Amino acid sequence: MAQDYIFTSESVSEGHPDKMADQISDAVLDAILKQDKGARVACETLVKTGLVIIAGEISTSAYVDLEALVRKTVTDIGYDRSAVGFDGETCAVLNGIGKQSPDIAGGVDRKTAEEQGAGDQGLMFGYANNETDVLMPAPVTYAHRLVEQQSKVRRDGTLSWLRPDAKSQVTLRYQNGKPVGIDALVLSTQHDPDVSLADLREAVMEHILKPVLPADWLDNCPKDKIHINPTGIFVIGGPVGDCGLTGRKIIVDTYGGMARHGGGAFSGKDPSKVDRSAAYAGRYVAKNIVAAGLADKCEIQVSYAIGVAEPTSISIETFGTGKIDDRRIEDIVKDIFDLRPYGIVTMLDLIRPIYQQTAAYGHFGRELPDFTWEKTDRADALRQAAGLA
C-alpha cells in the first residue's frame, strides 16, 4: 500500500440487528459454558420484527431456559418496549437447535485433550499495528469508540432520547503510513420521534464525536464531510428496519478491512471451533510481535484440517516493517506459541463464559480483563528469541 492514502472502517452498536443476533448467540454459548465446559456449541440467530429464531448444533449436559435467555438479552440491549419497535418481553422465540453430528465429534474428540483435532478446516488471520495504544488500526478503533459512546450516553441518560441502533464510519488520512487526520465521518443513530434533527446533530457532536475523536482532527475535518444522520429521521431501526443475522459483521468484529479475513464468524461458537479460537490466537501472536518491536505491523495466517491438531500452515507478513526476516519470525512463533486447538484454549484460557461481551464493539483492541488474547505477555520472549532484547 502507498504511504499516503485514505482508509475507511465502520462499526455498529449493540442495538444493530446483526449485533443483536451475535449477542444472543454468544449469550447462549456463555450460559452453556457456565454449566458444561465440555459442551460443543454452534448457535445461529435471526432477528426480525417481533421474532427471534435460534438454530444450530449443540451437544451438552447443561439445561438452559433459552427463551428466557433470549428475552433477557434483547431487553438488556434496550429493546424493552413496543414503542422502540421491538420488545424482548413479547417477541416470539423459535428454537431450531439440534445436536452436533457424531461424525464431526468423532474427528474432533480424542482420548487426551492435547490431541484434540480442529473442529473444521479453514484459514484464519490475526493482525496488529502500532497506530494506536491498543495496537489496532486507527479507523476501526475510532469507529468502535464512537458507537460505544453512543451507547454510554443513551444508557446513562445524557441523551435519553437515543435508541439502541447506531452506525459509525470513519475515514482517516494517512501520510508516510501513519494516520494524520479525519477525511470524513458518518454517525447515524436511532432516536425518539420528538427530537429535532438540529438538536440531534448538535448533541451528537458535543456528546459523541468530541469526547472520542482527537480535537485537532475533528476541527480540521471539512464540515461538509461530517455526516450526522444524513438521511434525517431515524426512528425505525433495529430488527424492524433490517433483518439481523449472526456472523454478518465479521469485518466490524476484526480489523475494519485493514487486514484479511478467513471468512469464518465468531459468535455462537465454542472454542473448539478454530474459526474463533485460532483468530483470537492470531491476534495474540500478531499483537505480541508488534509489542516486542519485531515489526510495526504484522499479519499472521494459520490454517487447519478437520480432526488434525497441528496447523497445516503458519505464515507471517510484516509488510517490510520487520526488524528480522519474516521466515525467522515464523520459526520463533512456532517455538513460543502452541497453535494446536488444545494449546490455544489452554494458552488463552478460553473455556469460560466470556463471549457475550465480545459480541459488540470489536473482539480485538479492547483490553478487558477477560480478553486474554489482548495481553502482551510474550513480547519479552519474542524479543529475546529474535536477539533484540
To the question of whether residue 273 is assigned a binding role by annotation, the answer is yes
Which residue, among 281, 307, 285, 279, has the nearest Cα to 376 in the 3D structure?
285
C-alpha cell at 317: 507478513
To the question of whether residue 202 is assigned a binding role by annotation, the answer is no
To the question of whether residue 166 is assigned a binding role by annotation, the answer is yes
The continuous run of DSSP H or E covering 23 comes out as: helix 17-35
To the question of whether residue 269 is assigned a binding role by annotation, the answer is yes
Positions of E strands within the chain: 5-12, 40-48, 51-59, 80-81, 86-87, 92-98, 122-129, 162-175, 178-191, 226-228, 244-245, 297-304, 313-317
Residues 6+ apart with CB under 8 A from 71: 88, 89, 91, 93
To the question of whether residue 37 is assigned a binding role by annotation, the answer is no
To the question of whether residue 18 is assigned a binding role by annotation, the answer is yes
To the question of whether residue 248 is assigned a binding role by annotation, the answer is yes
CA distances from 208 to 31, 108, 180, 271, 366 (A): 33, 46, 21, 35, 19
CA gap 277, 347 in Å, rounded: 11
Cα 24 vs. chain centroid, distance in angstroms? Answer: 14
To the question of whether residue 167 is assigned a binding role by annotation, the answer is yes
To the question of whether residue 383 is assigned a binding role by annotation, the answer is no
To the question of whether residue 216 is assigned a binding role by annotation, the answer is no
User: 379-386 and 274-291 are packed helices; what angle lies between their axes, rounded to 10 degrees?
Assistant: 60
Residues 6+ apart with CB under 8 A from 53: 45, 46, 47, 93, 94, 96
CA gap 323, 184 in Å, rounded: 34
Annotated binding-site residues for Mg(2+) read: 18
Positions at the binding site for K(+): 44
Binding residues: 16, 18, 44, 57, 100, 165-167, 242, 248-249, 265, 269, 273
Known binding-site residue numbers for ATP? 16, 165-167, 242, 248-249, 265, 269
